[in-house]
Amino acid sequence: MSNEIQKLIPDLSYLKGVRVIAAMSGGVDSSVMAVLLKEAGADVIGVFLNVWDYTRDDSKSHGTCCALEDSYDARRVADLIDIPFYSMDMRESFRRDVIDPFVHDYETGRTPNPCERCNRFVKFGALLDVADQLEAEYVATGHYVQRKDAEDGVHIFKGDDAKKDQTYFLATTGREQISRILFPVGHLEKEDTRKLAVYYNLPTADKHESQDICFIPEGDRIVFLKREGATAGFREGDIVDADGNVLGKHQGIAHFTLGQRKGLGLPGGPWHVVGLDGTLARVTVAPPEDAMISQVDVQDLTWIRLPEKGEKVEVKVRYQMKPAACELEMREGVHLVFDTPQKPTAPGQVAAFYSGSELLGGGIVSAAD
């Protein structure tokens, strides 16, 4: 083993003989995660979650998360590193907790985050249930997230690869759940993960990484929503400005998200979408300077660690934004006020709270102004 490879391998010796459920999605990240656990001497059991029937999709290719070929790839890796492997049918739960809310949100003017809901309601719940049944202490995933244990419990930090950091999608995962989840590749850059995959001769080493929503592999959200019966989201209506002046017509609010500025086709722009009314089938737009937000309400809160009095807190209300400084006011949920105005977010999106690189917790955006 070269020094370069040796430096990439984390010290997981404390897991020797400990039973761990490896959440194997068939991608390179979870494949490397599983082999690192195996090499450390853990008692590893691979589990794949079948969440969606991709044979119903008339698409040329599937996503790279939980499709049939991904199950095959995960099994090949499990066979290669000689660990038991099971596939779980989670399609009913995925339909109830991810697909149905996804469709409903686009009908009512919200913008859902299906990856967050899948983690919160489907993946971790199911995997921790399996862990209990198989008397496993931990579940391990390929997320780019770092875990550090202290006397006061578990702390979660951003992954070292800023481009791949996935703490945002774990912001609504509870402290009790997160205390049983391991992230063996969280310290790695994506390029280094692939180096380890090559070193261990894993068949997923060069596997393509999709950026699409896993159940919309061709990336056409509108086709998917129509097929799933989101009729209320495709009622024709008006596009208006803040004063109610009609600027144009639209073919359904499901075509829009808050903050959208492209594809509006309106005169006198530029315009940004600032309101979606599912009841009236109305889209409201405003000039860029009027589309910025300064306050956000957050519900369904989950804290990994409550912020201390006077602690500086930052928040992300969109995955791609940089954490922004804010003041928190604890109510039934959280009312946050940004130090400086931000680009708009939409109800249904995740608000993830940070102290420096530490993830404190999060919730779901209910309103933004």
pLDDT of 128-137, one tens digit each? 999 999 999 9
pLDDT of residue 105: 94
* DSSP result, 80-117: HHT--EEEEE-HHHHIIIIIHHHHHHHHHT----HHHH
Q: For residues 6-27, give the mean pLDDT.
A: 95
DSSP 8-state code for residue 307: P
Q: Which of 266, 290, 314 is the last residue of a domain?
A: 290
Same domain membership, residue 28 and residue 135: yes
Q: 65, 115, 118, 326: which is the annotated catalytic residue?
A: 118
As a whole number, mean pLDDT of residues 220-240 equals 94
Q: Which of 65, 66, 115, 214 is catalytic?
A: 214
Domain of 241: which CATH number? 2.30.30
Write out the DSSP string of 170-200: GTTS-HHHHTTEE-TTTTS-HHHHHHHHHHT
Give me the residue label for tokens 């859902």.
112
332 inside domain: yes
- Map tokens 């761990």 to a residue: 20
pLDDT above 60: residue 58 = no
Q: Are residues 22 and 48 in the same domain?
A: yes
For residue 366, pLDDT over 90 is answered with: yes
Domain co-membership, 189 together with 68:
yes
214 belongs to a structural domain: no
**353 - beta bridge partners?**
315, 361
* DSSP H stretches of helix in the chain: 3-8, 28-39, 68-81, 91-94, 100-108, 114-117, 124-133, 175-178, 190-199, 221-227, 288-291
Q: What pLDDT is attached to residue 250?
A: 95
46 and 192: one domain?
yes
Could you tell me which residues are beta bridge partners of residue 342?
293
Residue 304 to residue 173: CA distance in whole angstroms: 8
Q: Determine the pLDDT at residue 69.
A: 83
Q: Which band of pLDDT confidence, cut at 50, 70 and 90, is reported for residue 62?
A: very low
What radius of gyration, in Å, describes the C-alpha atoms of the chain?
Answer: 22
Residues 353 and 267 in one domain: no
Q: Is 60 found in the same domain as 35?
A: yes
Total domains in the chain come to: 3
Q: CA torsion sign, 178 to 167 to 24 to 228?
A: positive
- Could you tell me if 247 and 340 lie in one domain? no
54 and 190 within one domain: yes
What CATH code is carried by the domain that includes residue 137?
Answer: 3.40.50.620
Judge whether 170 lies within some domain: no
Nearest one of 117, 132, 249 to 172, comparing CA atoms: 117
Same domain, 27 and 115: yes
- Tell me the whole-structure pTM to 2 decimals: 0.90
332 versus 334: which is more confidently predicted?
334
Residue 44 within a domain: yes
* Span 10-37, average pLDDT: 96
Beta bridge partner(s), residue 293 = 342
pLDDT of residue 65: 58
**229-252: average pLDDT:** 95
User: Using 50, 70 and 90 to split pLDDT, how confident is the model at 61?
Assistant: very low
State whether 350 and 285 are in the same domain: no
Residue where the block lists tokens 């803040």: 242
User: Is 314 within a domain?
Assistant: yes
Of the candidates 154, 176, 199, which is a domain's last residue?
Answer: 199
Q: Domain for residue 31, yes or no?
A: yes
Range of the domain at 134: 16-142+184-199
**Which of the four pLDDT bands, split at 50, 70 and 90, describes residue 210?**
low
Same domain, 192 and 44: yes
* Within-domain flag for 308: yes
Q: Which amino acid is at 66?
A: C
In whole angstroms, what is the distance from residue 49 CA to residue 202 CA? 20
How many CA atoms, within 13 angstroms, populate the side-chain half-sphere of residue 50? 12
The answer to whether residues 62 and 21 belong to one domain is: yes
Confidence band for 208, pLDDT divided at 50, 70 and 90: confident
- Give the CATH number of the domain where residue 355 resides: 2.40.30.10
Residue 261: burial class (beta carbons within 10 Å; 0-12, 13-18, 19+): middle
Q: What is the pLDDT of residue 94?
A: 93
Is residue 214 flagged as an active site residue? yes
Position 67 in a domain = yes
CA distance 314 to 273: 25
Give mean pLDDT, residues 253-265.
90
- CA 54 to chain CA mean position, Å: 20
